Copies of this chain bind each other. A is one copy, B any other.
Amino acid sequence: MKFEVTILGSSSATPVFNRNPSAQLLNCNEKYYLIDCGEGTQQQLIKYNLKAARIDHIFISHLHGDHYFGLIGLLSSLHLNGRIKPMQIFGPKQLLEILEIQFKYSDTTLRYPIEFFPVDNENSLQIFENSDLIVKTIILNHRIPTTGFLFQQKKRQRKLIKDKADEIPMAYYTALKKGIDVELPNGDILKSEDYTTAADAPRAYAYCSDTLYDERYFDTIKNCDTLYHEATFTHDLLDRANETHHTTALQAGEVAKRNGVNKLLIGHFSSRYKTLQMLLEETQSVFENTELAVEGKTFQL
């Protein structure tokens, strides 16, 4: 099952040097989930040939503009392009007010329904579930209420071993795939493990932006396969990071290391860094399996 993320923006605060503000597109089993939506996200989707119409769920971490100023434009374009299926949006409760006032003054009645789910910013909660995944919030520590999101694949059924399955009636498949042994009328037992192999282990992707380094959210992201974490500054600017409630590249590496993740992606880079190699190396000095989450890159999760 496909589980990958494409980076649409890696810049903090303002767009610079062809870096756009935060946005990521998660593809889970060919369904699209948009995570944050900075200004120009719809243009980035066009640029990377990703169909905005396929997005059915949008998750907004907080109400700093570099994480949501592109949302109203994306929603408007979907309307103008004829969308009729619902859009589910998860984010701070004031976001709906911001959207509605703009639709009101442009005299726009959307052709499609927005289903808005205000996100609690004090407790990590499950906020979404479908047949493919579960989404939980991560309570981050920023200047204004901010939640990250944990995307957990659901446990999949065991996979039939085709050659062996051909020998037995299809009626038994469902039970065997669920791991249940089947007793035949003659008393013989078909063991699930003889006819199926284990499914891929469900994977988890954690999205953490923006936040101070803060142990209180570690429990929520522990042992996830891939962690995206902001790394706005190099560690020589720790004071600046603390003051603005951001994380340094070194600290991002620490978060990954202390929480047993497999892979770390860093992003949300300050406009003071024209090139990013220094940030990458700083993080890798603590946690080697780190990559830069830059525009247009797709990561298998």
Instruction: Point out residues on A near B: beta carbons under 8 Å.
Output: 13-16, 20-21, 39-40, 42-43, 46, 63-66, 69-70, 72-73, 76-77, 80-81, 92, 94-95, 97-98, 101-102, 105-107, 143-144
Contact = CB atoms under 8 A, between A and B. Distances in A.
Given A73-B39, A107-B143, A65 B13 contact: no
Contacts of A98: 101-102, 105
Given A13-B80, A77-B14, A106 B64 contact: yes
Copies of the chain in the assembly: 2
Q: Find the residue from A42, A66, A69, A72 having the highest chain B CB count within 10 A.
A: A69
Given A64-B106, A106-B144, A46 B77 contact: no
A123 B63 CA distance: 37
Contacts of A73: 21, 39, 65, 69
Contact of A94 (B20, B66, B80, B105): B105
Nearest to A75: B65
A106 B76 contact: no
B42 A77 contact: no
Nearest to A64: B106
B39 A42 contact: yes
Given A39-B39, A43-B20, A69-B73, A63 B14 contact: no
A216 to B, nearest CB: 21
Nearest to A38: B73
Q: Find the residue from A63, A94, A98, A102 having the highest chain B CB count within 10 A.
A: A102
A74 to B, nearest CB: 9
14 contacts: A14-B76, A14-B77, A15-B77, A16-B46, A39-B40, A39-B73, A40-B43, A43-B43, A63-B102, A63-B105, A63-B106, A65-B73, A69-B73, A105-B144
